[in-house]
Amino acid sequence: MHDLVLHHYPASPFAEKARRLLAYTGLPFASVEIPVVMPKPDLVALTGGYRKTPVLQRGADVYCDTWCIARVLDAAAPDSQLFLKRLGAVACAAGRLYDRDLFMGVLGLLFEPRALAGNIEYLGGAEQIQAFATDREPMLKNAPVRPIRGSAGHAIVLDNVMRLEAQLREAGPFLLGERPSIADFCAHHPLWALTKNHILRAMLEPYPMVRAWLSRIDDMGPLVSRPMGSQEALQRAAEAQPEALPQATEQQLGSVAVGDTVTIFASDYAHEPSQGTLVHAGADELVLRRQDEHLGTLHVHFPRIGYRVRKVG
Ligand SMILES: N[C@@H](CCC(=O)N[C@@H](CS)C(=O)NCC(=O)O)C(=O)O
pLDDT tens string 156-170:
999 999 999 999 999
pLDDT at res. 191: 98
pLDDT at res. 253: 84
Region 109-135: what's the mean pLDDT?
88
> Model confidence over 81-92: pLDDT tens digits?
999 988 999 999
Region 70-76: what's the mean pLDDT?
97
Among protein residues, the one whose CA lies closest to atom 15 of ligand 1: 52
Phi (first) and psi of residue 311, to 5 degrees: -75, 140
d(CA 16, CA 20): 6
Atom of ligand 1 nearest to the CA of 54: 20
Average pLDDT taken over every residue of the chain: 95
> Model confidence over 126-178: pLDDT tens digits?
889 889 999 999 999 889 999 999 999 999 999 999 999 999 999 989 999 99
Among protein residues, the one whose CA lies closest to atom 18 of ligand 1: 65
The structure's pTM equals 0.97
pLDDT at res. 121: 75
> Model confidence over 248-278: pLDDT tens digits?
777 778 889 999 999 999 999 999 999 999 9
Q: Would residue 53 be called left, alpha or beta, if left means φ above 0 and alpha means ψ between -120 and 50 degrees? A: beta
Class of 86-218 in CATH = mainly alpha
Mutation choice for ligand 1 from 12, 128, 304, CB with most ligand atoms inside 8 A = 12
Of the pLDDT bands very low, low, confident and very high (cuts 50, 70, 90), residue 212 is very high
Domain limits of the chain? 86-218
User: Which string of DSSP letters, residue by residue, matches 267-308?
Assistant: SSS----EEEEEEEE-SSEEEEEEEETTTEEEEEEEESTTEE
